[in-house]
Amino acid sequence: MPITDEQRKFYENSMKFAKKEISDLEAMIQEELAKVKERLAELQNAQKAARQMYGAACMRLGLQNDLEETEES
């Protein structure tokens, strides 16, 4: 059973709206993903700095750096 012109217009408009929505959502996903990646990099840098400080303190105190062992395994 063929669709009417009115139905065709309805479905064509629905497709256009859905396609635009998908595109907008993809842009929002990419934006949020970029924020997460940036925050992860900040946290990893902070962790690296803290590990360096911990390692230096262990050296100064003449203690074994127990974090180095867990990093290697």
Q: Return the pLDDT at 32.
A: 98
Give Cα separations from 59 to 25, 47, 51, 70 (angstroms): 51, 18, 12, 17
Cα distances from 47 to residues 9, 36, 53, 63, in angstroms, run 57, 16, 10, 20
* Residue 72 pLDDT grade (very low, low, confident, very high; cuts 50, 70, 90): low
pLDDT of residue 1: 87
* pLDDT, tens only, 3-45: 999 999 999 999 999 999 999 999 999 999 999 999 999 999 9
Looking at residue 71, its pLDDT comes to 64
Element (H, E) at 39: helix 5-61
Residue keyed to tokens 């064509």: 12
The closest alpha carbon to 57, from 48, 45, 49, 65, belongs to: 65
